[in-house]
Structure formats: C-alpha cells, structure tokens
Amino acid sequence: MTTDVLEIRDVGKSFGAVTALREVNLTVRKGEIIALLGDNGAGKSTLMNIICGSNPPDRGAVMVDGQRLDSVDAAQRLGVGVVYQDLALAPHLDLAENMFLGNEITTGPFKMLDRARMRREAEEAIQGLGISTLKDVRLPVGRLSGGQRQVLAVARAIKWASQLILLDEPTAALGPKQVDIVLDSIRTAAAQGLGVILVSHDIPNVLKLADRIVILRHGTIVADRSPEGMTVSDVMTVMVGDDA
Amino acid sequence: MTTTLAREETQAPSMPTGLHQLKKILSIRAVQIILVEIVVIAFFFAMSPEGAFLNAANVRGMLLTASQVLLLAIGQAILMSAGKIDISQGAVLILASVASGQVMVALQGSMSPAATLIVGLAVALLIGAVLGAAIGILVGVVGINSLVATLGMLSIATGVAQVATGGVNIFGMPGELSDWFGSVRFGAIPLPVILSLAVIGVIWAVYRLTPWGTHTLATGSNALAARRVGIKTVRNTIGIFIVSSTLAGLAGYIDLARYSTTNISGHLNDSMAAIAAALIGGTALTGGRISFLGAIVGALLAILLQSGLVIINLSPFYQTIAVGAMLLIAVSLDNANRERPGSS
C-alpha cells in the first residue's frame, strides 16, 4: 500500500515561447513536509498553481491519492487545502464564517445555517492545533492581526484538507512569535498525516521544519534531498547555480 | 438584524453592564436613525395644522409610498453588500409597470379579473427578473462594472418604455387592480405594505439564515477569496441582480395598483433614493456589510421628510437637501468607524 499522497509525473508548462516547467517529477508522502525553494522565476508559483488545480499542466499529470487533479474543484474534492499568500479571507466575516466559507454546515430542508455548530467546530479545529491566539470565533477577521489571520488561514486549510496542504509564504511579514505559532501548526498538520508543501523564502526556518527540500531552477528540479547538514548558504548556492 | 460585535467589546469590564448595553444599542445605525425619526415625527406633528401629519390618510399615504421604496432599498442593500450597485431600478420599475399595464389592459374582458391581475403581476416580476439576469450576466460574466452596466440598462429600459407607450401614460387598468389590491386595507395598514414587508421578511430570512447571505457578503468583502474557497461568485452576482430587479418589478406593479396608471417619467430618481436609504442605514457601498433594518428606516426617513415638509407648507425640495445631508453625515460616521467591520 502506497503512502504517497501526491505524485507529480513529468509535468511541463509553457507560457507562449517561455517554458516555465519541464519534466518535473515529485512525490509527497503522508506526514511529510516538503519545502519548495527557488529563485524568482524558477517556477515555484507555476508548480503551486498546478498542484492547487488553478492552472493545469500542458504535459504530465498530478495525482492525489491515485486520482488525477486537474481543477480547483478536483483539488477540493481530493482533499487538497491551500493557504494562499493573500490568505483568501473575507475581513467582514467572523472567524467561524471564514473557517466554513464555501463549506457551511446546513440543517433541515431549507438548508439553514447551523451557526452554533460551525462556531463549536471552528473552536475545536483551532484548539486541536494548539492555537491560543484565536480565542473568539465570532470576531470579524478584519479585527485580527496579520499573524492571527495567517494562523486562521492555516487552520482553515488543515481543517478541510484530508491529503495535502500547500502553503505559499506562510511566514512572510510575521514576527518571531507568530512564525513559531504557524510552524507549530504545520508540524501538527504533518503529525496528523497530511502531506505538506511549503513555498517560502524563510530558508533558516525551512531547514528546521522540512523533511525534504526541493529546489527548482529554470523550471526544473535541481535538488531533492534531506535538509540535514545543509546551511542557508548551501541552499542559496543550489538555488542560483551558475547564475551567481 | 443587529451588527455583529466582538465578544470582548460586549464585556468591557470598566463599564456597568446596563450602561454598556445602552451604549451598544445606541451605536447601532438603525437605532440612531429611528431616534432621528422620532424627533422628525414629533416636529412635523407639532408643526402641522391640527396634527395632520399623523392623521390616518397621511400615514396611509406614507406607508403606500414606503411599500415601493422599501423594496428598492432592500434590493439595493443586497447588491451593495456584494460590492455592486444598480442605478437602473427606477427604469426597470417603469418598464415592468408599462408591460404589466399593457398586458392587463389587453386581457381584461377576455379572462377573469383575478386571472388578469395575476398575469399582470407575473409579467411585472418576469420583466424585472429578465432585466436583472441581463445585468447580472453583463456584470458577472462579461465583467462590466455594475455602475456602467446599470447605466446602460437605465437608458435602455427607459427608452423601451417610452417607445412602447409613445411617451404617454397607460390608463384603463382593470378596476379590480385597485379594488382588490391597491386600495385594500387591513385596519390601518394597506395591503401593498403588508405584501412588501412579507417579501422583505422572506428575503431577510433567506439572506440571514442560509449560505446565500454569507456568500454574498464574502463576495463583497473579498471576491478573490470567495472564488478561491469555491463560491460560485458569477452565479451569486446574477442571482442578486435578479432579486433586486424583480423587487423593482414588484414595485412597478404596486405603482400601477396605487394609481391605476403608469408613471413613465416619475421614477428615474428612485435608484438614487434607494442607494441613499441603504447607505444611511449602514450598508457599505464597498461590500461586506448589510443592514436590512437600516435600509428600511433609512428609506422611511426620506418619506417622513418629504411628507412632513409638504404638510407644514414648505417646499418638498428641502427634503432632497435633508436626505443629502443625512447621507453625508452617515457616510462620514462610517469612515470614522471603519476599523469595525461586521455584518448584520
């Protein structure tokens, strides 16, 4: 029985004459944290968009739990959660409403919102991740700090993901304490059996967190290895290659 | 229908609970407007000859006007909560009343009065729904800004109504339209008012109690986020324009029932009044926040001012100045409180 939650086979993507990705092969196992690194223009965003279904590949295939992922709907159906860099939160809605946005719990023949249950489950999801910074699920998200919003976005992705979560720069613009909270949440998600793909420029923390680092350069994977023994300088050298 | 407040805010330890509750209630926009309206009513009652402002006929007239304006204001508030706007409501109202009126005039005598009235109502609602769907497609699918799309529809609907009537109002409605609907009262309350409030109640319940309202607010709060979590924002956009324009169609039918004629030049400013009512009531033009009660009392404020000024023998033109001033005060207060987003 395979423990792979994600398999990327010979994926390629071009935009006009520009080849953004070529012959990308990658697998992610249950509970594994993969850091996807690369310089600007290396193809990280393109690969992320392909994995979250918003931009299907020209060649190859993305398989989650043995099924093809080729759209945002398929990604949601297959249990892929995404934390976008802009977080995709609605500031006027409260924490519980954001947690369940698009997945509201309804009851009865008229599909009435079960707000009490959504609030209770939102609290449980947040507490389950050991997050103490989000105490009131009825607080509008517009009143949260940047760090609290980031944690909420991570908690939401974890709640709805059953196979894999993708995180795009989850620690950008956060203070050290908030970074720790987010990293702890990611570790908890992995411990629960989710595969994790993390795109980040925060290399020191990535080296502490990731089980594997995958480095993209010019649209192809140039390194896929354990971070053990690697320094920030080593990673930078592989990222920029001969361009430095 | 009260604004969502943070739990922390409702439990400030330094303030006695009763005083804090009072402060919380007074901070609700709809309550503030109701207090202003009590002052306005008291003023016009005192100033009008023999208290004519609150006599049965004047109250009934104000309520009948409200039966139409409230429908438009609620439609506008829903659109605004999604970050959209509709300046064609008045034109849709006119075209719906013209089409409905022409059909009823043509059908009367060939079918029962009740069937004629029902077909007339269906035509008014259908015209509204079709025009709303057209606007929704232009905004949601084609990607035209809602102000521009409805500016175009304002012109088209007005023009079609004028072409269809030759610029002359339609007379000769079935007498039952007024006898069975427009002039019917239950106690002091006209039937069109009861119908409007019932429709608004149903819409409020669906908006507040089902995911539709949350998805609409999310679309207005952050459209990209709404799409990314899988909300069908295009479908939602088309849906809310259909609701708004269908409400305008219903207002057109009520207009016919009240006056037994069309009023093809009398409603072109209705959209602006509805937008002002929703804004005064605390609905955000930029989306993400709605107050049904605020839109209702905001619309009533304009009606009270207009009627009161006429009764005390002042030019009703002052009403437009007063509503404009209220609008600017309300929006200024909104800007001051901008760090407190929330829905109601």
The ranges of chain A with pLDDT < 70 are: 1-2, 242-244
A244 at interface of B, judged by CB pairs closer than 8 A:
no
Contacts of B215 in chain A (CB under 8 A): 102
Dihedral angle over CA of A39, A43, A46, A49, nearest 10: -60
Contacts of A92 in chain B (CB under 8 A): 217, 220-221, 287-289, 341-343
Q: How far is CA A159 from CA A83, A152, A155, A156, in A?
A: 12, 10, 6, 5
Q: Give residue A2's pLDDT.
A: 57
- CB contact under 8 Å between A140 and B217, yes or no, is no
CA atoms of B4 and B204, how far apart (whole Å)? 16
Which residue of chain A is at minimal alpha-carbon distance from B5? A139
Q: Give residue B15's pLDDT.
A: 64
- CB contact under 8 Å between B211 and A88, yes or no, is no
DSSP class of residue B4 equals P
ipTM exceeding 0.95, yes/no:
no
- CB contact under 8 Å between A143 and B217, yes or no, is no
Which residue of chain B is at minimal alpha-carbon distance from A112? B210
- CB contact under 8 Å between A93 and B229, yes or no, is no
- What distance in Å separates residue A98's CA from the closest CA in chain B? 9
What phi and psi values does residue A24 have, to the nearest 5 degrees?
-90, 125
Specify the pairing of strand A33-38 against strand A59-64. unpaired
CATH classification (class only), A4-91+162-243: alpha beta
A73 at interface of B, judged by CB pairs closer than 8 A:
yes
- CB contact under 8 Å between B341 and A76, yes or no, is no
Q: Report domain extents, chain A.
A: 4-91+162-243
- What distance in Å separates residue A140's CA from the closest CA in chain B? 6
> B255-290: per-residue pLDDT in tens?
999 999 999 988 888 999 899 999 999 998 889 999
Nearest to B92 by CA among B130, B137, B121: B130
- CB contact under 8 Å between A92 and B220, yes or no, is yes
Q: Report domain extents, chain B.
A: 42-336
A138 at interface of B, judged by CB pairs closer than 8 A:
yes
For chain B of 344 residues, list the mean pLDDT of each consecutive stretch of 10: 36 66 86 92 92 92 94 97 97 97 94 96 98 98 97 97 94 94 91 96 97 97 92 97 98 95 88 92 92 95 90 82 83 67 42
From the list B210, B229, B339, the residue facing A101 with the nearest CB is B229
Q: Which two tokens stand for residue B37?
A: 């309206």
